[in-house]
Amino acid sequence: MIIYLEDAKQFETLIEKGTVLIDFYADWCGPCRMLGPVLDDIASLRPDVTILKIDVDTFGAIAQQFSIFSIPTLKLMKNGLPVATKTGYVAKEPLLRFIDGK
C-alpha cells in the first residue's frame, strides 16, 4: 500500500507498527519520478510493507528530523524505528533485498 503523507500529525501513527518504507521525494526530482513505478511494483508484490511517500518541500521538518540531504532517500522503519537507509534511485530487485535486510 502506498500512502502520501497529507498531515504531519499522522506521521507517528503511520510508522509505529510493522514495516514502513519511507520515500522522501519531491515532484521536481527526476530520480524520484523514476522510482515511482518501482514503488508501485513493490506495493503490489509486498502487501506486508507500507510505503509512505513524504514530499520534502511540504514536510521539510520531518525530512530534517531524519537528516535527509539528498533525494530520493528511502528510510526503512520497523515498528517505529529506523533500521536502514538508501539514497538515490534503486531498481526493483535490489529494493526488495533492501526491504528484506539482505
Catalytic positions, written as ranges:
29, 32
Contact between 50 and 3 (Cβ < 8 Å): yes
Strand positions, DSSP E, the chain: 2-4, 19-25, 49-55, 73-78, 81-87
Backbone torsions φ then ψ of 41, nearest 5 degrees: -60, -45
Q: How far is residue 47 CA from its own chain's centroid?
A: 15
The CA-to-CA distance between both ends of the chain, in Å, stands at: 22
